[in-house]
Copies of this chain bind each other. A is one copy, B any other.
């Protein structure tokens, strides 16, 4: 085994990493250049097999847990120590790109290859985890955090397929899914490398994103009840126009989103009734999606919004209701992991910035059971979930090197017999 001082000069093989990214994108490739590799599909299974081959070639042993997660494990110097883990997913949205998820998995495998060819054994075992169905139910990472919903019907696929047969296809087993749960006793820390899927790094000209956490998300269904009436014969002052009220709600939400802070707030969906050119709208239903790293901040914004909605209801003579539809708490990245990523970026002379992840990631589930960190690389024009998703080969290499060195830094500073951070970074 080489010394830590040597390890810090270690770099991944960039060409090899990028070749595997291109190779995996062949599986499920669409005519427009996008990739369709839906979880549990034939394409997903082919890709899972290829990834397992690559893991084995990189010297990893493989375990499929009951949730179908692929856990590739590279041995550590202290086999009983909790693992340092990375990973992501290789399933895609129906028309996805090359990088979302895949990049984090393949960078992890590349790191194992580098360990193997340099005869490096870190103190902690090193794991690369391929999480099941990130783009859908996130059942893989939820099984690891012990947060799978008990009702199997919840996991039925849009095409009607049940979760039993889905998991069976990929080597999992619904009945034993509780056994997939892990804890900080066997994962000392989890660091996920991912494309940003947003425009911030590119717009700031930064190479690396040190993720502060994955934002909490609340979703609501807002209903506005007015009174449908003839758009000709009903004078303006006698109207209860649900759309006028809804328009004020949209602007109130936008105003909340634009107050100082890192929150985003969106009305993305709206339906009117009766939705006819010659009828004053009597009913509007719309979505509200609000995200921030701080749950308290979201609470405070929602409190402001509620007051605003009450005023709008009075002003417009309508009834407005805010009905909760989703509540995800923020998942914060550990400070010491953020610091490690930042210092490693400085070491390798890559510019970086701190930013929240406003999209969901498997890392948010891992944060429930262990110390979590995330590294972002830029997405061209912020585009994702699209055939035109793009991160350059060099950007892919940079992120993988930061992941490699962050893991080595954590390995060196975390005690293999005590998973708490040493505090000396």
Q: Write the residues of chain A forming the contact surface with B, with a CB cutoff of 8 angstroms.
A: 196-200, 203, 215, 217, 219, 229-238, 241, 243-244, 246-248, 250-251, 254, 257-258, 262, 264-270, 272, 275-281, 287, 289, 291, 325, 357-360, 382, 384-385
Contacts and interface: CB of A to CB of B under 8 A. Distances in A.
A215 B231 CA distance: 12
Contact of A384 (B230, B241, B360): B230
Number of this chain's copies in the assembly equals 2
Contacts of A269: 272, 275-277
Given A241-B266, A248-B251, A268-B276, 13 more contacts: A198-B235, A203-B238, A231-B264, A232-B291, A233-B382, A236-B254, A246-B247, A251-B251, A266-B278, A268-B277, A268-B279, A270-B272, A270-B275
A270 B230 CA distance: 16
B251 A280 contact: no
A253 to B, nearest CB: 9
Nearest to A358: B232
Majority SS of interface residues in chain A?
Answer: mixed
A268 B258 contact: no
Contacts of A264: 231-232, 234-236
18 contacts: A198-B234, A199-B233, A215-B232, A230-B385, A232-B291, A233-B384, A234-B264, A234-B382, A235-B264, A244-B254, A247-B248, A251-B251, A266-B280, A268-B275, A268-B277, A268-B280, A269-B276, A270-B275
A85 B349 CA distance: 91
A359 B233 CA distance: 6
Contacts of A287: 277
A215 B235 CA distance: 13
Contact of A359 (B232, B247, B254, B279): B232
A149 B325 CA distance: 51
Closest 7 CB pairs of A and B: A198-B233, A277-B287, A247-B250, A247-B247, A232-B358, A231-B266, A232-B359
B243 A250 contact: yes
A264 B262 CA distance: 41
A213 B232 CA distance: 13
Given A203-B238, A251-B248, A289-B278, A243 B270 contact: yes
- A235, A248, A279, most chain B CB atoms within 10 A: A235
Nearest to A237: B258
Contacts of A241: 254, 266
Contacts of A215: 232
A260 B237 CA distance: 11
